[in-house]
Structure 1
Amino acid sequence: MRAISLTILAALIAFQSGSAFAQGRPNSTAMTCAQAAGLVSARGAVVMSTGPMTYDRYVASRAFCTQTEITVPDWVATRDSNACFVGYRCRETTRSFRG
């Protein structure tokens, strides 16, 4: 009986893992502006498709970037807007050294 229970548990875990891998990235063009911005706000950081062959990582704040990165605001196309502010992208800072 214990072996059957463990087999069922293993199958359920494998099914859950497989379905997670099958999910694609959220697509901004399939969402409203409020949905896309809300997703970034709720998760803090999201890799989102912005077109058939394009994607980027959007963050709610600099807390989701590395220490050497800054945030730059970004707008994406959504179902109801051509320029929807969804949050920020992390970008490396550029430092100029003067000698």
Structure 2
Amino acid sequence: MRASLVIAAIGMKRLSLIVGITALLQTGAFAQPRPLTTGMTCHQTKSLVTGSGAIVLSTGQHTYDRYVRSQAFCLQTEFAQPAWVPTADIPQCFVGYTCVDEMPLSSRSGRLLN
């Protein structure tokens, strides 16, 4: 009788471990690789930003940022600032915008970037 309780306890621990691992895998809690702009063409990189609306891209081994398609993907307190990144074919490719806390100089005339 006691042996069956021990076996049941071990089975429950295994089950909870399996459930926990499954939950981690399905929620994307593990670090996901960011697309590297220098491994794509300018067109591919811009299409990725445009298609996603907002995406985190690596621009080098230790550099990355969040790029957005338009002001609509920034917080209400943020402003869209034009962003250029290095790509495989162009050293400075316009891919969209980054969201910044301060209004960019080009927008201070009252014109919002879309």
- Flag whether TM exceeds 0.5 (same fold): yes
CA distance in 2: counterparts of 1:48 and 1:74, whole angstroms:
12
Q: TM (normalized to structure 1)?
A: 0.74
Q: CA deviation at 1:21?
A: 3.2
| Identity level (%) | 53
List runs of 5+ in structure 1 lacking aligned partners. 1-9, 95-99
Aligned to 1:80: 89
| Pairwise CA distance, 1:93 | 2.5
**Higher RCO (CA-CA < 8 Å; seq separation 6+):** 1
**Bigger proportion of residues as strand:** 1
- Asked whether the 8 Å contact 2:41–2:87 carries over to 1, the reply is yes
1:60 pairs with 2:85: no
1:41-86 deviations in Å (ceiling 9; x for gaps): 0000010000000000000001110011111101000011100000
Query: Runs (4+) of structure 1 moved beyond 6 Å?
Result: none
- 1:82 partner SS: coil
TM-score by length of 2: 0.65
2:34 paired with 1:25: yes
- Equivalent pair of 2:24/2:30 in contact (CA under 8 Å): no
Residues 10-62 of structure 1 deviation map (CA, whole Å, 9 limit, x = unaligned): 7xx66963888353001101111001000000000010000000000000001
The total of aligned residue pairs comes to 88
Letter in 1 for 2:47: G
Any stretches of 5+ residues in structure 2 without a counterpart? Answer: 1-18, 104-114
RMSD over aligned Cα atoms = 2.5
Partner of 1:37: 46
